[in-house]
Amino acid sequence: MKVTIDGQAVPGVRWGSTYIPVVPGEHVVTAVQGGPGKIPARAVVPVVAGQVTQIYFRAPLFGRGPRKLCIGTLGPVAPTVEDIRRERRYRLYLLSFTMPMMVVMTLLSIYLLYHA
């Protein structure tokens, strides 16, 4: 996972809690999971002097596909168990639709290849 604060890469970030000291004020935080070409999640985070500000990153549903499914979320509220369950159901729903369509498209391509 890669994290930047105000455009500067933050080294040593890992899954779980990571303490990153910053000066008070608003900071633009981006987080992305994966390699080049991935779309980072972005949030403007206000930091108050003498306080700890927690933000949470949730990985995207898919690594590739429609843009809204390939961006993680970044914000002040941790995902709930229900949020995670809803995402899993949505992922299964998409897979249950896309897998048969991929099979149909493959079979159609093979048919057209040999019968055209």
Render pLDDT for 58-102 as a digit per residue (tens, 0 to 9). Answer: 777 665 555 555 567 777 776 666 776 776 676 666 667 666 777
Total domains in the chain come to 2
Residues 64 and 113 in one domain: no
- Same domain? For 96 and 64 the reply is no
Structural domain that includes position 88: 80-116
Residue 41, CA distances (Å) to 52, 69, 92 in order: 21, 12, 23
pLDDT given at position 25: 92
Tell me: do 60 and 20 sit in the same domain.
Answer: yes
CA dist., res. 42 & res. 57, Å (int): 10
What is the Cα–Cα distance from 109 to 18, expressed in whole angstroms? Answer: 49
pLDDT of residue 62: 61
Which band of pLDDT confidence, cut at 50, 70 and 90, is reported for residue 35? low
